[in-house]
Structure 1
Amino acid sequence: MGDEYTAKTEAEKLARYFSDDERFDFVGFIANGSYGSASRVRYQDPITGVCKDVIVKRAFQSESAEEAMRLEREYLRILEVEDFPLNRDPRIPGEWITMEWLSCGTLGNFIIKAKRKVDRLPNRLLWRFFLCLIRACIAMADPPNRDDGRVEREMVRGELPEGGVAHADLHAGNVVLGEPLSDFEHTITPILKVIDFGRVTEWAWLDEIGSPTTSNVWEVGKFMISLITLNEREVVPRVGRGSVLLPDRGMILTTDAVAILPIDPPDARYPLLDPDLGRLICWCLASEITESPSLWDLGNQVGFAVASKQATAYPNRPEETNDHISQLWRRIVFDADT
């Protein structure tokens, strides 16, 4: 109650500030978190007249909250998350940052809405979401930290650093959907982006959770389970209750992806789920930290699947066509529930 009241009070201050500048329109308060609030603001370029919506995040006025906001700003710079050149005004004290507004909502809301409209999501949509999340893990494992303005696709191009960045607050509310891009990975599905880096931590190795990369990959595995089961609050304890054959590696893996086991017919729990996809998700949720997949393996295998698995890879499955998937995700995001 206290944080929510503080957040709304801070939002009212921002609303008053932006109402004094004709370039801006304060659209409204979005939500509050553990150390600040987020509001939506519309900016109109005075020269071109083009409008752009941004998120303005403002820290609560406490030392710990402002330090968290400073930390987030630094990681946004390192990870090259798009920022918005909104000048700081000394009339507004404290720490605040601006970020790109993505209009399609969070992954959590997507799953909730999907559950009301469909029984399952197509494999080719799941593959693309999987690849977006893996690319986010690659960026956190080896942050670009560039100053030349170049934007490159996140790929493992060599040996990754031993440490890296663990998001530490990676849940379905901190992954957002944006409009599709023009590349082959996103033409039929929205792009996914990770947000809220206020709790980011760095380490080399911890016995209970491994490296930052294994921690992030585990969370990606949980996201994929939620997308398959259409349960936005799927709980995946690390207890080693399941096993799955990984033929390419010649091993039986102990996994905690029990919610989607067994993978293979005739007893498959999700018989229309691509077994190749299911095995990679099981691998992300390997019970033994030392058996977690590398980002090189994941990036290559998931990337290859996105590029090569066309609708013809799933015969007699019209839901796997480009047109169906493109229409489906928009219906899930934008259409009212019936």
Structure 2
Amino acid sequence: MDYDLIGRLLLSLPAGDAETARMAALADKISTYFTPNENLVYRGVAGIGRHGGAIIFLDRRRHPSRKIVVKYSISDQADADLRNEAQFLEMLRGAEHIGQTIPLAEATLNVSGTGKRPTLALDFIPYGTIYAFRSRMDRTHYRVPSRFLWRAFLCLVRQVLAMAFPPQGGPDEPLRRERFHQHRPLGVVQNSPHGNNVIIGDLTSDDFEHSLAPILKLIDFGRGEILRDEEGAIYDNIGNIGVLFIIIFERRLDESYLDNIPELGWQYEFVDRQTGENRRIGTAAPPFFTESKYIDVELRDLVVRCMAVSSDNTPSLEELVGEAERGVAKGPEDIVYEDTAVDPRQTETDEMIRNLVQRFILDAGTIEEEAATLNRRTVNHHLGTTLLGINATTRPGPAQRHQFKQSNLDANTVVDNDID
């Protein structure tokens, strides 16, 4: 790498652009700490920031090869977060709905003369974040089917189950579906529930839960902690299910809406499915969600209860698992909208879900491809490189695309649900 050339180019840029370019060049440099390992092939940058970043490698220790992401830090605070994350991910190893650590000998590196810095290797989860999924839909009128949302909800519930009952699997052991066990639950909280920390994974054709909609995995435990109040931790995590679900549901929203919750919450009335009685609770779920007429009423009620102001109105984790599994098993005829003029048998079909997933997830590009789309102006135009880096030994070709083999629609057909 010609660092003199890079330095001259950086001097010619505005301050903000120069910082972006400098961080991209640093990511390229950091990749050289790993490339002496002949089993690792540098493939690009998953993300960069002021305190660290993440770079992608092809790991040839397995057959077939797999991609891994190596997170690195370049500040004391980021060092602490990364070490903390490593401890929690080790505890959560083996959980199907949590990002997984990968054993890697190159555990530390010496960055820019600042001393030893920790690194953390993770499994590569290909289809970006929930925020990325929403941004792809921003200019459309596509309404997300409730049967897709039930599957997303179940993924979020299973993440909470993993934190309460960590599986503590061994390195490279098969992932296991999260389950209750006889031991006392742990008070693990992730403490960073936002759309960039929920990653979209692959479809799994042999698994009913993830054959129609991809798996969602929780990442970034840099702020994770264990609370002594285990029940309070579970209550907090269940509330965060609602926070993340509403971010998935409302694509023009971030979690800042939580800053404006009334002291007693927004009032919500619903019919208790168990008793048939009318109930009224205070909730942090905002009116634009609670008043939506185009989501399965049972799912809406459940999300609202997850965000109940009083823990007395919050469903237990056992109830959530059971209700979410039952919701995922629903067919189009089982979905009930508040607006009875719309027929879920037309808007909740498998074809609707398949086309949403194909268009906005599978055909939308992987993290690696998005890094190569020339979307970072300063790096691309001034340094003559994408975020795959000057030192990249290979450039990614077109990603292999999943197709729903059971779909009867042409691959180029797009079906938009134009309900507003």
Identify the TM-score tier after normalising by the shorter chain.
0.7 to 0.9
Identity over aligned residues, as a percent? 27
- Name the SS for the 1:117 alignment partner: coil
Structure 1 length normalisation: TM-score?
A: 0.85
CA contact (8 A) 1:155 1:299 kept: no
Q: Which residue of 2 aligns with 1:245?
A: 270
CA contact (8 A) 2:267 2:280 kept: no
CA distance in structure 1 between the aligned counterparts of 2:37 and 2:232, rounded to whole angstroms: 46
Deviation at 1:17, TM superposition (A): 2.8
In 2 relative to 1, CA 89–115 (structure 1 residues): closer, same or farther, beyond 3 Å?
closer
CA distance in structure 2 between the aligned counterparts of 1:298 and 1:33, rounded to whole angstroms: 36
Deviation at 1:42, TM superposition (A): 1.9
Per-residue CA deviations over 1:101-142 (Å, capped at 9, x if unaligned) read: 111110111112123334310010000000000100111112
Per-residue CA deviations over 1:58-86 (Å, capped at 9, x if unaligned) read: 12242x33232221111111101422232
CA contact (8 A) 2:145 2:352 kept: no
- Name the SS for the 2:199 alignment partner: strand
| Correspondent of 2:321 among 277, 294, 299 | 299
Q: Does residue 66 of the first structure (1) align with residue 79 of the second (2)?
A: yes
CA contact (8 A) 1:25 1:41 kept: yes
Structure 2: unaligned runs, 5 residues or longer: 1-15, 94-98, 111-115, 336-342, 366-413, 415-420
- Name the SS for the 1:69 alignment partner: helix
Per-residue CA deviations over 1:13-53 (Å, capped at 9, x if unaligned) read: 322234444433322222235743111122234x84x3321
Deviation at 1:260, TM superposition (A): 4.2
Q: Which has the higher contact order (CA 8 A, sep 6+)?
A: 2
Q: Which residue of 1 aligns with 2:411?
A: none
Q: Which residue of 2 aligns with 1:130?
A: 153
CA distance in structure 2 between the aligned counterparts of 1:42 and 1:91, rounded to whole angstroms: 19
CA distance in structure 2 between the aligned counterparts of 1:298 and 1:151, rounded to whole angstroms: 22
Letter in 2 for 1:322: D
CA distance in structure 1 between the aligned counterparts of 2:59 and 2:202, rounded to whole angstroms: 19
Q: For 1:263-274, what aligned pairs fall within 5 Å after superposition?
A: 269-274=291-296
Q: For 1:272-283, what aligned pairs fall within 5 Å after superposition?
A: 272-283=294-305
CA distance in structure 1 between the aligned counterparts of 2:20 and 2:89, rounded to whole angstroms: 25
| Correspondent of 2:240 among 215, 219, 222 | 219
In 2 relative to 1, CA 26–280 (structure 1 residues): closer, same or farther, beyond 3 Å?
same
- Name the SS for the 2:209 alignment partner: coil
Q: For 1:1-338, what aligned pairs fall within 5 Å after superposition?
A: 7-8=23-24, 10-32=26-48, 35-45=51-61, 48=63, 50-62=64-76, 64-80=77-93, 81-88=99-106, 92=110, 93-147=116-170, 149=173, 151-158=175-182, 160-161=184-185, 163-181=186-204, 182-205=206-229, 211-234=232-255, 235-236=257-258, 237-239=260-262, 240-247=265-272, 248=274, 250=277, 251-260=279-288, 262=290, 269-307=291-329, 309-314=330-335, 317-335=345-363
Letter in 2 for 1:60: I
- Name the SS for the 1:67 alignment partner: helix
Structure 2 length normalisation: TM-score?
A: 0.69
Number of matched residues?
324
Structure 1: unaligned runs, 5 residues or longer: 263-268
Q: Which structure is larger by alpha-carbon Rg, 1 or 2?
A: 2
CA contact (8 A) 2:45 2:55 kept: yes
Letter in 2 for 1:27: R
CA distance in structure 1 between the aligned counterparts of 2:108 and 2:133, rounded to whole angstroms: 38
CA distance in structure 1 between the aligned counterparts of 2:223 and 2:50, rounded to whole angstroms: 10
CA distance in structure 1 between the aligned counterparts of 2:358 and 2:91, rounded to whole angstroms: 32
CA contact (8 A) 2:72 2:120 kept: yes
Per-residue CA deviations over 1:144-167 (Å, capped at 9, x if unaligned) read: 224494643213345752x51110
Deviation at 1:4, TM superposition (A): 5.9
CA contact (8 A) 1:225 1:260 kept: no
Per-residue CA deviations over 1:286-337 (Å, capped at 9, x if unaligned) read: 0223432211111111111112x01332455333222331221120124469
CA distance in structure 2 between the aligned counterparts of 1:118 and 1:9, rounded to whole angstroms: 39
Letter in 1 for 2:86: R
CA contact (8 A) 2:109 2:118 kept: no
In 2 relative to 1, CA 229–66 (structure 1 residues): closer, same or farther, beyond 3 Å?
closer
Deviation at 1:168, TM superposition (A): 0.7
CA contact (8 A) 1:57 1:96 kept: yes
* Greater CA drift, 145-154 or 132-141: 145-154
In 2 relative to 1, CA 325–335 (structure 1 residues): closer, same or farther, beyond 3 Å?
same
CA distance in structure 2 between the aligned counterparts of 1:331 and 1:321, rounded to whole angstroms: 16
